[in-house]
Amino acid sequence: MDLSAVFTADPDFADLALAEWRKVGGRPQRLAPGVYLAAPRDDYWSTAVTWQQQPPIFIRHICPAQLQIKLAGRLADLEQLAAAVPALHDLLDPALPFSVQTRLLVDNLAYKPFDVNQRLATAVQAASSAPLDVRDPRQVVSVVVAEHEGLSGFVGLSPAALNLSNWAGGVRRFAREPEQISRAEFKLLEALEWFGLSLPPRGTALDLGAAPGGWTRILRRHEQYVTAVDPADLHPSLQQDRNVRHLRLTAEEYLQRDPDQFDLIVNDMRLDGRDSARLMVAYARCLYPGSQALMTLKLPQTGREALLDHAFNILRHAYAIKGARQFFHNRSEVTVFLQPLVSSAR
């Protein structure tokens, strides 16, 4: 089977995602805003394994397109897609849980993603004893329906670990909680999950530019004692929390007051990415050895690649950059995971 890839990125960062793709493959064909079909220059699986080990920043999700099926947009498409399942049978591991993930890039079809997922899951289970697990699959049947040479359905099967994300198209959603303070909380949740950060029990965290306190709330939920630095007010729910110390200072002012040391520093401040990087370098001395830091780098509409490279070079004076990612919940920014160099600690 010819093996192409469908990859996904934020449409606002499509230029940077396409630059990442050009390092591994040929010219992509646009299926929808931020969604592309292309063939890797080398073997698909070797490209996917390389990206699993060293993920790209802007490409959020990748899946194989092992089959291309002509569709008509009617309910009969479900049977045509289900009929493709036997062609993937040799790739399916019956011992591992699977899920079906569908993206419909065309409006006004006679079916929804749930309909495709349900029909193909039934077909897979009829052909195999693999258990269905939509929450934590080990292998994924990916379906993308798009206007391409008419209406086409692209179907592929891959280990979930090689898709860059367990979520269709990299769209990671979290349930909104009644106590939620701000949308920014989702950014931190996604970062903690993606980078696999394990926070120490009853650790100490510094939240720079904390107001109104969304990141502080998430850190408290992880049992961290939080120093929240911001001249503005925190949410009333945090003002009553004895494990939150609110300092009505700017991050620059606090730096001049001989700050404490912390297990974690987070920074989601609305600063130019280079200025924010310089601030984090200055704060590196406030981290214990073996600790970690998370920050967002705000990027402009133009010159983003140069700014990002400049900010990374600044950060490398004090940190090892362990990862960088443009998450689904990021907007005009990239989230960076940092570990201080030994020489940066006091």
Domain with CATH 3.40.50.150 in the chain: 184-344
**Residue-level length of the chain:** 346
Q: For residues 262 and 291, is the Cβ–Cβ distance under 8 A?
A: yes
pLDDT the model gives residue 1: 44
pLDDT the model gives residue 42: 85
Burial tier of 2 (Cβ tally within 10 Å: 0-12, 13-18, 19+): exposed
pLDDT the model gives residue 7: 98
Burial tier of 324 (Cβ tally within 10 Å: 0-12, 13-18, 19+): buried
pLDDT the model gives residue 3: 86
Range 184-344 has CATH code 3.30.70.360: no
Which parts of 75-199 fold into alpha helices (H)?
76-82, 113-127, 184-195
pLDDT in tens, the chain (346 residues): 458 999 999 999 999 999 999 999 989 999 999 999 999 988 899 999 999 999 999 999 999 999 999 999 999 999 999 999 999 988 999 999 999 999 999 999 999 999 999 999 999 999 898 999 999 999 999 999 999 999 999 999 999 999 999 999 999 999 999 999 999 999 999 999 999 998 999 999 999 999 999 999 999 999 999 999 999 999 999 999 999 999 999 999 999 999 999 999 999 999 999 999 999 999 999 999 999 999 999 999 899 999 999 999 999 999 999 999 999 999 999 999 999 997 554 5
How distant, in Å, are the alpha carbons of 101, 123, 128, 143, 275 from that of 133?
Answer: 11, 15, 14, 17, 44
Tell me the HSE value of 43 on the side-chain side, using a 13 A CA sphere.
Answer: 4
322 in active site = no
State whether the Cα torsion 20-21-22-23 is positive or negative.
Answer: positive
**Looking at 23, 70, 298, 322, which residue is catalytic?**
298
The reported pTM is 0.93
Domain with CATH 3.30.2130.30 in the chain: 4-170
**Domain spanning 4-170, CATH class:** alpha beta
